[in-house]
Amino acid sequence: MAVVVAPVSPAEYDTAARLVCGAAPTFGLEQRVGRFLAALRGGEVGPAGVLLARRDGAAVAAAVVQFLPGGTATLLPPTPFAEAEAGDALAAEIVAQLRTRNTSFACLFLDPDDTAPADPLVRHGFRSVTRLTHLLRAGGHLPIPPEPPADVRFEPADDSSEFGETLLATYEGTLDVPEVCGHRPAADVLAGYRANQPDPPMWWLARDPAGRPVGVVLLTHVGTPGVLELGYLGVVPVARGRGAGAALLQHAVRSAAEIGVPDLTLSVDERNEPALRLYRRHGFRPYQWQRVYLWRPAW
């Protein structure tokens, strides 16, 4: 009988959680299932995006697509041990939902050594584009950096047109996942960063002595006490190579320390070697790598 895909029902939450987290008994399985169920029942994960593939009425595989503010989406891939037909059915439904919602792009992040779960999605238009390096600055063991140079001035920002235009300008020639940059208006980009953040957000616009914008920096909450994420740091092309990036980073680290948050995390495209060198010079150290799979409607 053909595989049928539909969103999970409340009665199937536990089945879906076990399929998403891995059906085989492994260390930490029950904890993973418990966290997923809590996120599902608490609304953190939308049940409409939790998809079950059924054959003869029995659930045989699952996948998750979550739509985010700003017109993007993230995925948990089809169950890795699923038969090819079930995996392809889930991937086809995911892509159909992405197109129906006019999604600008969707991302999937996997362990670099465990890429098989992406195979059905690759067959339906996803591409492996790069690896992300995740870094941590354990501030409790490092000195606070000096104040940025006086010729770079910082001002708190919101979603004003100037801030948005400057952020988009930093995408020009970027080495940080350029495949997703420049395809959305500033309002959508900022909506993604603003989600679940304080109001006003921890965003800053940097200016040179003449008052011209040279870059932006955004800190975001990650839900872990004592940790903030450097959500984005960007320098406009004309200011690159002149110390603006270091000034932005120093400001971010000092701002986090001033509100009692010692640790900062960030993610960077491994192709962005200048950024990696900058972060390492300021005490960031890698702790995880992930393969990035990307879908865009024009592909």
Domain parsing of the chain, residue ranges: 4-125, 136-290
Model pLDDT for residues 237-262, shown as the tens digit of each residue: 999 999 999 999 999 999 999 999 98
**Measured between alpha carbons, how far is 3 from 196 in angstroms, rounded to an integer?**
37
In the chain, alpha helices (H) = 13-21, 29-41, 84-100, 119-122, 161-170, 186-194, 244-258, 273-281
**Measured between alpha carbons, how far is 15 from 32 in angstroms, rounded to an integer?**
13
CATH topology of domain 136-290: Aminopeptidase (3.40.630)
Q: In this predicted structure, what is the pLDDT of residue 95? A: 97
Q: In this predicted structure, what is the pLDDT of residue 16? A: 93
Q: In this predicted structure, what is the pLDDT of residue 25? A: 60
3-state secondary structure of 27: coil
Residues of the chain whose pLDDT is less than 50?
A: none
**CATH match for 4-125 among 3.20.20.70, 1.10.150.120, 3.40.630.30, 3.30.70.890:** 3.40.630.30
Q: In this predicted structure, what is the pLDDT of residue 195? A: 87
Q: In this predicted structure, what is the pLDDT of residue 122? A: 96
Q: Which residues of 159-188 are buried (b: 16+ CB within 10 A; e: fewer)?
A: beeebbebbbbbbeebbbbbbbbeebebee
Model pLDDT for residues 156-188, shown as the tens digit of each residue: 998 889 999 999 999 999 999 999 998 899 999
Q: In this predicted structure, what is the pLDDT of residue 160? A: 86
- Topology match between the domains 4-125 and 136-290: yes
Q: Are 234 and 213 in contact (CB under 8 A)?
A: no
Q: In this predicted structure, what is the pLDDT of residue 26? A: 67
